[in-house]
Structure 1
Amino acid sequence: MTTPSRAASDAEILRRSRLDAAAFGELFDRHAAAVHRFLVRRIDRRAADDLLSEVFLHALEARARVRPHESGSALPWLYGIARNVIRSHLRSRDRPGLAAEDEHVDWDAVDDRLDAGILARDLRHALSTLTGIEREVLLLVSWEQLTITEAAAALGISTTAARSRLHRARARATAALAAMPNATHPQETS
């Protein structure tokens, strides 16, 4: 009787891929959809489709240098690479008149994510009151479902700094929503 084999952890795949680049394909198969969603939420879908391969190409090139996150997941590392790829992509575009801080947020994706147009407007306003790093940590924890330590790793900051920024982001976003005239908030509806 054979025992079922357990799935290799991301850390094990990364170690194996240092000697066998083909093993890295398992990480792509496992995480490409999540990384693509991460990209689409920040830039338009067509650019996300193009940049997905760039993220994994950079990851493949850096696989020998990466130290896996304590959670065993490669997602924080891949999200960090994706953020850098997005930044590089946005810098390479010639789009005068856009604020650099807000360029990486695809507001249409934010709108699609919400049930009602009024909530989308309110959320857009609340997110615009946050600094870039506050917005990123909030989105990584809320949308990407990373733990605070994984979000910190993706952003290249300490867990303490990420926790502080997340707390500040939630407080500032809540205050911005509460201050909106005629805003409809889920907790106020009956």
Structure 2
Amino acid sequence: MATGLDDKELLGRAARDPDAFEPLVERHSRALHGYFARRAPGAADDLLAELWLQAYATRRGFDPDRGSVRAWLFGVARNVLSAHWRRIAATRPDVMRGSGDDDPWEAVDDRLVAAAVAPKLRALLTRLPPDERELLLLVAWEQLTPSEAAAVVGIPAATARTRLHRARNRMRAGAPLDRTGGPA
């Protein structure tokens, strides 16, 4: 298999030749596993496996006009994670998303250089509107470009850049936010 091909070429070939999918798995598994590990540490391995099953099954649906293969894979990952949270909510209504065993913050806190910043950072992130928070995390943690993050979230790139700018400003300022994302 020619691994010198770019992602779009590989995915295009994978529609006809299943072996062409393997280099995509090798190239992107580490970043996608990190995405899951930061959001659902106890389930990251299973979620990564589910992601690759879904990505392989839907590989013919990739539209190169909508963005990069990497952004498409993160979009699939986001859908897999959402389904995971829905399953947890349906089977364990006493467990809230992001609490208890599923809370990624303990692992994140351990890696923060300044532990004193962690509680404030956590509070500011939880107060951001969900799309702004997801965009910020996709760019900061997953190293996606704002345009790729926009494709993951399903919004126009210009809208993503505006929301990302707003989220960064709110985080820098540490300004109090209400649940709608506006100033408190």
Does TM, normalized by the shorter one, top 0.5?
yes
> Does structure 1 residue 110 correspond to structure 2 residue 105?
no
Alignment of 1:72-151 (within 5 A): 73-93=68-88, 94-96=92-94, 98=96, 106-151=104-149
Query: Any runs of at least 4 consecutive aligned residues in structure 1 with deviations exceeding 4 A, and if so which?
Result: 102-105
Cα pair distance change 1:138/1:69, threshold 3 Å: farther
Aligned to 1:155: 153
Return the alpha-carbon distance in structure 2 between the equivalents of residues 49 and 142 of structure 1. Answer: 22
The CA distance in 1 between the partners of 2:34 and 2:119, in whole Å, is: 21
The structure-2 alpha-carbon separation of the partners of 1:6 and 1:39, relative to structure 1 and needing over 3 Å to count, comes to: closer
Q: Deviations over 1:44-68 (max 9, x none)?
A: 2x30011101001100011111013
Give 1:69 deviation, angstroms: 5.9
Q: Does 1:32 align with 2:46?
A: no
Q: In the TM superposition, what is the alpha-carbon distance from 1:175 to its structure 2 partner?
A: 2.6
Residue 164 of structure 1: aligned partner? 162
8 Å Cα contact 1:40-1:106 kept in structure 2: yes
Gapped regions of structure 1 (runs ≥ 5): 180-190
Cα separation, 1, equivalents of 2:7 and 2:161 = 25
Aligned positions, number: 170
- Residue matched to 2:182: none
- RMSD between superposed Cα atoms in Å: 2.1
Q: Matched residues in 2 for 1:163 and 1:126: separation?
A: 19
| 1:161/1:92 CA distance change after superposition, 3 Å | same
% identity of equivalent residues:
45
- 1:55 maps to 51
Q: Give the alignment's TM-score, normalised by structure 1.
A: 0.81
Q: 1:97 to 1:39 in 2, by over 3 A?
A: closer
Shift of residue 109 of structure 1? Answer: 3.2
Q: Which amino acid aligns with 2:13?
A: R
Report the residue type matching 2:69 in the other structure: A
CA distance in 1, matches of 2:3, 2:76: 28
In structure 1, distance between residues paired with 2:110 and 2:130: 21
1:43 aligns with 2:43: no
Kindly provide the amino acid, as one letter, of the partner of residue 64 in structure 2: P
Q: TM-score, length-normalised on structure 2?
A: 0.84
Partner SS for 1:64: helix
In the aligned structure 2, how far is the partner of 1:69 from the partner of 1:111?
Answer: 38
Taking the aligned partners of 2:132 and 2:53, their CA distance within structure 1 comes to: 28
Q: Residue 76 of structure 1 contacts residue 154 of structure 1 at CA under 8 Å; is this kept in 2?
A: yes
Q: Which runs of 5+ in 2 are unaligned?
A: 177-184
